[in-house]
């Protein structure tokens, strides 16, 4: 096909370098595993079509600037590859368009990004230097080309894309419907093609609001009404007129509860506090790319977070009907306390939308080099400085406290270490129990301050983990910690986070039913004695008819008896693999709920509703 080879020298060399580099990154940085030769071929060829397509565009420019634009394209693709590598190292996921708009978060996650940067990352860009000097040689100086030359490269790229998609569809039917599985899309379409497809998805979801009408909300309301569970009369109104204090524990997973390091308890205070509280030991987080902000959304709205990006960032001006707005009708003042800047996760905008009366962000705290680490104020001074504001709030109040210290990469000051590290080859996992122990200590002091100020006995206290702390990228080290090989079943079980509900005068009890963050809103409302007419996908945790179902954003589902994940079905209690058809019901229900919730948010359907609440 290629006559007059010199016309294509720069294209061929640049394409080969970018192609091979991308494939190497797939294998070494993204850990994209293949199970057979066909999948390996798809993985190998998928970068080439997008690389050739973009490089063909340089033929639209004059010979004088053509090499310059070739280098610009190479730099752009290298940057995309490296940005995804950093994101994947941190989140075990790939960048989406909504994530790109979370620019106000970048400065605050500097420590986490720095922890994902290695000296050998320079190799991501060394090829650009090679190309720069190569293009200075006479044999690589551009020569005149025709439209036919441009067409040859373009047609070759399109043919490769067709072959790529054809092979991928034969290997994984309905691939393009699996938008939730970004790793699968990258594995089959390639990093660059995936981003093009993600742009198309963004355009589609943006159009949903304009096309929505009040009929669309009916199906959602009918489903959640049918799923809802009546309040347990023994618990309904148990917290009426009491203060409600919710503590969000950053990156805290359930496996640390009751666990020791070198004979020392990681969470000694929480272990004791659980004994005098209701403790849910099969409580799962359900966050997506929004992490902590997603957990807040689940808590207050009982809706699922979005599959791409964070609701706080993408839909902060939607109409919502969440806990702060509902309880305000019954005289409850609402506030959030957080020792970080107010715009992180777009909280300052979102909190106004959902009806919070006050947001105590970093400007309310004294923060200096001695009392901050990672993202902001350390947990001990955070709680200490918050007490004076808490005392001044109108009662009764609904308050949320968001901790920070136990955040990736789990750095700590030497004077704050109260427990030994783990002894694995993974520094992230090793430091994890140290920062959790510090948060445990901070909460202990806070609870004591509540007692000293006369607040404790008149308050319901809810403590929960917001999302996972150790991702699947650290499975090898986690296997050493837990003393077993980590399987997909274990990865689901590691998504359990602590949930502690302390009710004054009530004895402690461990409840092992399946539950999740989406269940918190109806639980809180019923404890306050409020029967809200609204849309919540969760059900009251204390209801005798509580629906045992936890649905994750990656479409894994945990039911009363089974766990569905990675297209495999397991017995929940034993982890034994069973026929996948056994999980059909919970799989379909989980998918249906995600689709209904997504449609509700993308279409801003709650603007078509007018819910009422009643107090019995």
What's the pLDDT tens digit per position in 89-125?
A: 877 788 887 777 665 555 555 555 566 677 778 888 8
> What does R_g of the chain's alpha carbons equal in angstroms?
26
Instruction: Note the pLDDT of residue 103.
Output: 56
Distance CA 517, CA 467 (A): 10
Q: Considering the domain boundaries, does residue 365 fall inside one? A: yes
How far is C-alpha 46 from the geometric centre of its chain's CA atoms?
27
User: Where would I find the beta strands (DSSP E) of 65-174?
Assistant: none
Q: Is 14 a catalytic residue?
A: no
Q: Considering the domain boundaries, does residue 584 fall inside one? A: no
Distance CA 496, CA 587 (A): 19
Q: Considering the domain boundaries, does residue 608 fall inside one? A: no
User: If you average pLDDT over residues 563-592, what whole number do you get?
Assistant: 97
Here the CATH number for the domain that contains residue 280 is 3.40.720.10
Closest CA to 539 of 528, 525, 559, 553: 525
Q: Considering the domain boundaries, does residue 616 fall inside one? A: no
* pLDDT for 145 beyond 90: no
Closest CA to 276 of 141, 451, 156: 451
Is 192 in the same domain as 234? no
User: If you average pLDDT over residues 370-394, what whole number do you get?
Assistant: 94
> Going by DSSP bridges, is the β-strand pair 499-502/459-465 parallel, antiparallel, or unpaired?
antiparallel
User: If you average pLDDT over residues 427-439, what whole number do you get?
Assistant: 97
Is 262 in the same domain as 369? yes
Confidence of residue 544 (pLDDT cuts 50, 70, 90): very high
Task: Please say whether the beta carbons of 245 and 504 come within 8 A.
Answer: no
Residues 354-382 as b/e (b if ≥16 CB within 10 A, e otherwise) read bbbbebbbbebbebeeebbbbbbbbbbbb
Closest CA to 520 of 221, 247, 217, 243: 247
Confidence of residue 1 (pLDDT cuts 50, 70, 90): very low
Evaluated on CA atoms 34, 35, 40, 43, the torsion sign reads negative
Closest CA to 18 of 151, 125, 162: 125
Q: Which residue has the higher pLDDT, 11 or 226?
A: 226
Closest CA to 38 of 195, 197, 163: 163
What's the number of CA atoms in the CB half-sphere (13 Å) around residue 97?
Answer: 15
Helix (H, G, I), strand (E, B) or coil at 531: strand
Is 196 in the same domain as 233? no
Is 111 in the same domain as 145? yes
> Hey, what are 459's tokens?
């308050």
Q: Considering the domain boundaries, does residue 279 fall inside one? A: yes
For residue 536, count other CB atoms closer than 10 A to its CB. Answer: 23
Is 291 in the same domain as 392? yes
Task: Please say whether the beta carbons of 106 and 343 come within 8 A.
Answer: no
Q: Which residue has the higher pLDDT, 30 or 440?
A: 440
The pLDDT mean for the chain works out to: 90
Is 418 in the same domain as 511? yes
> Hey, what are 199's tokens?
């742009």
Instruction: Note the pLDDT of residue 201.
Output: 81
Q: What is the DSSP string of 423-460?
A: -SS-HHHHHHHHHHHHHHHHHHHHHHHHHHTT-GGGEE
Instruction: Give the residue numbers spanning the domain of 174.
Output: 5-208
* pLDDT for 616 beyond 70: no
> Going by DSSP bridges, is the β-strand pair 515-516/283-284 parallel, antiparallel, or unpaired?
parallel
Is 129 in the same domain as 275? no
Is 272 in the same domain as 405? yes
* pLDDT for 62 beyond 70: yes
Q: Is 210 exposed, middle or buried (0-12, 13-18, 19+ CB in 10 A)?
A: exposed
Q: Considering the domain boundaries, does residue 577 fall inside one? A: no
**In which element (H, E) is residue 551 found?**
strand 549-551
Q: Considering the domain boundaries, does residue 302 fall inside one? A: yes
Residue 485 dihedral angles phi and psi, to the nearest 5°:
-75, 135
Percent residues over pLDDT 70 in the chain: 93
* Final residue before a domain boundary, out of 508, 523, 547: 547
Query: pTM for this one?
Result: 0.84
* Final residue before a domain boundary, out of 502, 526, 547: 547
Instruction: Note the pLDDT of residue 108.
Output: 53
* pLDDT for 67 beyond 50: yes
Q: Considering the domain boundaries, does residue 67 fall inside one? A: yes
Residue 94 dihedral angles phi and psi, to the nearest 5°:
-115, 155
Is 36 in the same domain as 142? yes
Is 232 in the same domain as 204? no
Instruction: Say if residue 396 is preceded by a cis peptide, omega within 30 of 0.
Output: yes
Confidence of residue 5 (pLDDT cuts 50, 70, 90): low
Residue with tokens 């702390």: 469
Q: Is 548 exposed, middle or buried (0-12, 13-18, 19+ CB in 10 A)?
A: middle
Cα–Cα distances (Å) from 182 to 22, 178, 195, 284, in that order, read: 17, 8, 10, 22
Which is catalytic among the residues 224, 292, 523, 539?
Answer: 292
Q: Which of 51-60, 98-107, 374-383, 453-462 has the highest mean pLDDT?
A: 453-462
User: Which residues are bridge partners to 360 per DSSP?
Assistant: 337
Instruction: Note the pLDDT of residue 232.
Output: 96
Number of domains in the chain: 2
Instruction: Note the pLDDT of residue 111.
Output: 56
Distance CA 84, CA 103 (A): 15
Q: Which residue has the higher pLDDT, 475 or 179?
A: 475
Is 232 in the same domain as 100? no
């Amino acid at each position: 096909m290629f006559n007059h080879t010199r016309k294509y020298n720069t294209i061929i060399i640049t394409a080969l370098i970018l192609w091979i580099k991308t494939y190497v990154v797939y294998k070494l940085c993204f850990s994209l595993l293949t199970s057979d030769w066909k999948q390996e071929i798809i993985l190998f060829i998928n970068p080439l079509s997008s690389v050739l397509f973009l490089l063909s565009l340089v033929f639209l420019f004059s010979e004088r600037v053509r090499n310059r634009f070739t280098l610009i394209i190479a730099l752009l693709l290298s940057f995309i590859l490296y940005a995804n590598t950093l994101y994947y190292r941190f989140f075990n996921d790939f960048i989406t368009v909504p994530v790109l708009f979370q620019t106000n978060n970048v400065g605050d996650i500097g420590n986490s990004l720095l922890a994902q940067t290695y000296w050998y990352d320079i190799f991501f860009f060394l090829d650009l230097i090679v190309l720069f000097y190569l293009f200075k040689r006479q044999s690589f100086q551009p020569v005149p080309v025709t439209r036919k030359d441009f067409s040859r490269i373009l047609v070759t790229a399109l043919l490769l894309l067709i072959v790529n998609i054809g092979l991928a569809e034969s290997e994984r039917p309905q691939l393009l419907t699996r938008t939730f599985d970004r790793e699968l899309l990258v594995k089959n379409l390639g990093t660059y093609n995936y981003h093009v497809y993600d742009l198309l998805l963004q355009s589609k979801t943006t159009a949903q609001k304009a096309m929505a009408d009040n009929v669309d909300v009916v199906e959602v309301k009918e489903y959640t009404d049918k799923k809802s569970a009546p309040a347990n009369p023994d618990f309904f109104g148990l917290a009426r007129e009491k203060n409600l204090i919710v503590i969000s524990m950053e990156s805290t997973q359930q496996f640390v509860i009751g666990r020791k390091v070198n004979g020392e308890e990681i969470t000694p205070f929480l272990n004791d506090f659980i004994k005098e509280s209701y403790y849910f030991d099969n409580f799962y987080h359900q966050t997506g790319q929004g992490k902590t902000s997603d957990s807040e959304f689940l808590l207050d709205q009982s809706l699922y977070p979005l599959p791409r990006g964070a609701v706080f960032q993408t839909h902060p001006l939607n109409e919502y009907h969440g806990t702060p707005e509902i309880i305000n009708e019954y005289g409850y003042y609402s506030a959030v306390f957080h020792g970080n800047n107010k715009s992180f996760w777009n909280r300052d905008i979102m909190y106004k939308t959902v009806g919070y009366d006050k947001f105590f962000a970093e400007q309310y705290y004294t923060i200096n080099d001695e009392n901050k680490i990672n993202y902001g104020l350390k947990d001990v001074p955070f709680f200490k400085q918050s007490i004076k504001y808490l005392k001044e709030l109108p009662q009764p109040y609904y308050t949320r406290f968001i901790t920070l210290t136990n955040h990736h990469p789990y750095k700590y000051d030497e004077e704050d270490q109260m427990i030994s590290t783990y002894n694995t080859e993974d520094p992230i996992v090793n430091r994890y129990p140290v920062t959790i122990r510090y948060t445990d200590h901070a909460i202990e002091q806070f609870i004591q301050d509540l007692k000293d100020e006369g607040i404790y006995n008149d308050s319901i206290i809810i403590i929960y983990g917001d999302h996972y702390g150790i991702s699947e990228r650290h499975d090898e080290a986690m296997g050493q910690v837990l003393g077993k090989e980590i399987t997909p079943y274990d990865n689901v079980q590691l998504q359990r986070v602590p949930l502690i509900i302390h009710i004054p005068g009530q004895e402690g009890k461990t409840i092992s039913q399946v539950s999740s963050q989406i269940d918190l809103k109806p639980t809180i409302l019923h404890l306050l004695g409020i029967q809200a007419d609204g849309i919540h996908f969760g059900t009251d945790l204390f209801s005798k008819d509580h629906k045992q179902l936890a649905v994750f954003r990656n479409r894994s589902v945990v039911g009363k008896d089974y766990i569905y994940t990675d297209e495999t079905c397991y017995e929940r209690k034993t982890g034994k693999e069973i026929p996948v058809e056994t999980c059909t019901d919970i799989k379909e229900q989980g998918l249906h709920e995600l689709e209904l919730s997504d449609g509700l948010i993308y279409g801003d359907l709650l603007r078509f509703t007018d819910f009422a609440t009643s107090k019995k």
